Structure 1
């Protein structure tokens, strides 16, 4: 299989070719290896080298033999070093077992070929850790692919992989999807398992899934891996029918609310992102949906203060736990300046601060849930701008304290955090394009457990507007 033939297919298409005997899994993986080798010098999206052989996987799974990679954060595979984007871990911590979601990815047949880059401990909306250097956006290598799942996004967008794992604690699936022209679904809290290491990572903000180029891949992969494991905190109702069927069936008439005002952070919205949302709103009206201007009532000041507590307490715990386990002393030789600043702030927090944060998160969740009794989906930009230049979100800037770093991130990522706090699903779709030729992500959110609504609508928009013919400057085909 030639590399250009490989890159022309999504994960579903590759699985069908392998299953039908048109090509062997080995041939597909050889093409993927060549593709990864071709783009790595340009994008710097892998941590270390790709694997010589894919990790063990179920050849009979629905994606048997399809190439894949895992993010260097949260998820881990037995025997594979994890570095979490930080020098503190050196050559990495090797875990003796898979996380539950990793085991599900293997059971689905995904052939893991490497580990993708992430910013230090995930607290950034770009991917430029000191430990690994800058990951570049395949649409413009002077721009960031977003974060914290930037390595995965860059490889999928460039055609080197059809799918890669991602995680989202404040927009880290959706922001890279928007910056790189991908489909990025953050599922409902509990839809995918975060065990056994966590019950509620990042005070419930974090969840894991994947980045894909097509809606059908996103849906079929959710069909393959969703569900709880023993000991998980949440047990959600199963979907009425497979998510892949929802995509094919399309959406009923929906009540669509539209907002272009950020719900958090100090940022304003780039006019090109506003225009992209307006064009999508017009498209939805032409498809028969009821479109109105509306947004949930979120107290942005209280929200940002609570979100800062969640992130800084998480970073303080992560830094101190890892340092104690390694016998290391955190400092500028092992951690970036803003990680140190956030961890230092986190150590000053009291139990009462966490309870106050919980009250704000509860009030936010109640307000947003009430909003979704009157509206089916909320349409917004994915981010305040199409992307950021390399270096704009510099996590090693010693002039920034914890609040300054938070505000720098959320001046760009002002639309994504509410879905993390509420646990509700949201998806970014590449439905806009800037004058520079960059993708612009457009986000849809909905109520708890309603991924089917998002995927059905996404399928309709993919058919109506489409993005399959768009190719970035760095493309293996």
Structure 2
């Protein structure tokens, strides 16, 4: 269907939704439905690519989500021919190598050159049958919680372009929410799948560490925070992708996931956490989380108050490790990225984190020791609960500029800590977390809820996602 509210290169009218849904080969289908149409011969992959390219052109000026496009030469894999998602168009985030396209990581600090080979995860994604049309924008090195830049235009939220699309997978979230593609790659080192999912009304699963092939960046760090995944508009698309990814690579140390197709078969013990130990949740977010808890109780699950044993010391340690990552990037950039790398071109957030680490580097051994112990603490939570329900974020989607890298560093850090108060726990501990678009604030911007489970228990999270989606289907931006 067509919609007269579609952006035409400007996002100045802040209250208008921007989307590209129309009566073409993509329609309003999700990835599972499109793959079925391809298998049945009702549509061919070339038609889907052409439709996605046309849709991207319609919204790119308003939302700016695309880093590099390759519409005339979509990347497909022989291993993916006939795969579960064969022919469905997607994008790869611009911090994962894809042969022939640059990997700029959202930074102006170096000149990105075309990658010579695919990263292991790119091969895993392609093996599912997806066709990659290009790469999506992210904030510099994925360090921010909003896809904003020191000088370049930000990625904007399709639900309200005056507001953030989240980060660091903000470009991917904008494309999926706006209807350009039904599924796009995302990755998560502190909430970067789940944050943009919450901001843009999407489903985002950060899997257990090791569920998918290792991420090239995260695997080089003392504590691997980064896991790859996807952003989708339906739970079944997320479930289908992880089932397809498991056909390419399955970690024998984790329980097999398989294809999850419906709600849980038994009542679950759900712990309810409304406030983070470091930030009080705002009223619109609290309301959505409590309404979700009531819905789960009505389904027969037992919901009771719980607490997260990760307070201010954990937050300080995570901030120190965040600074360590920025310091490593600056130190190794000329060798690992490109000789053109210049630290003087780094944005204010990366520069501030790097400088902060240099003033407190002596804390690093203790920081690493405590963060490594957090995995055992996290596992203990699930002796009494099957799932923890919480907000994804401590407050609703901020306007563009609130988390800009041009904000004074100390103020920006305080804003980030008050906002991203829940998601880093799953990155440090390696536990899975699922963001679901369970509601909205009074102005219509999406509000997400977060489900956490024990290591290897993504199936439980997806089953609860199916139950909540069936009980009250997610809002649609095109309605």
- Normalised to the residue count of structure 1, the TM-score between the two structures is 0.90
* Match for residue 431 of structure 1 among 433, 438, 451: 438
Q: Deviations over 1:270-302 (max 9, x none)?
A: 10100001111111111000010112322x221
Tell me which stretches of 4 or more aligned residues in structure 1 moved more than 6 Å: 227-230
Q: How does 1:78-117 map to 2 (within 5 A)?
A: 78-90=99-111, 92-117=112-137
* Match for residue 398 of structure 2 among 388, 405, 419: 388
CA RMSD of aligned residues (A): 2.2
- Change in CA separation of 1:348 and 1:423 when aligned onto 2, cut-off 3 Å: same
User: Could you tell me which residue of structure 1 aligns to residue 14 of structure 2?
Assistant: none
**Is 1:13 equivalent to 2:24 in the alignment?**
no
User: Could you tell me which residue of structure 2 aligns to residue 400 of structure 1?
Assistant: 409
Q: How does 1:38-437 map to 2 (within 5 A)?
A: 38-57=58-77, 58-73=80-95, 75-90=96-111, 92-130=112-150, 132-195=152-215, 198-199=218-219, 201=221, 203-226=223-246, 235-239=252-256, 242=258, 244=259, 246-264=260-278, 267-298=279-310, 300-324=311-335, 326-328=338-340, 330-332=342-344, 334-348=345-359, 350=361, 353-397=363-407, 399-401=408-410, 404-437=411-444
Distance 2:136 2:109 in 1: 18
Q: Deviations over 1:79-132 (max 9, x none)?
A: 210110010123x13321111110011111110001101000111110012364
In structure 2, the residue corresponding to 1:435 is in which secondary structure? Answer: coil
Q: CA deviation at 1:346?
A: 3.0
Distance 2:471 2:220 in 1: 37
User: Could you tell me which residue of structure 1 aligns to residue 13 of structure 2?
Assistant: none
Structure 2: gaps (5+ residues): 2-20
Moved more, 146-155 or 377-386: 377-386
User: Could you tell me which residue of structure 1 aligns to residue 448 of structure 2?
Assistant: 441
- Change in CA separation of 1:198 and 1:96 when aligned onto 2, cut-off 3 Å: farther
Q: Deviations over 1:218-263 (max 9, x none)?
A: 0110111148969xxx753242x62x3x332534200011011124
Moved more, 375-384 or 200-209: 200-209
Structure 1: gaps (5+ residues): none
Distance 1:76 1:285 in 2: 44
- Normalised to the residue count of structure 2, the TM-score between the two structures is 0.90
Q: CA deviation at 1:9?
A: 0.5
**Number of residues paired by the alignment?**
456
User: Could you tell me which residue of structure 1 aligns to residue 4 of structure 2?
Assistant: none
Distance 1:449 1:391 in 2: 37
Distance 1:201 1:15 in 2: 37
C-alpha contact 1:183 1:213 (8 A) present in aligned 2: yes
Distance 1:197 1:358 in 2: 18
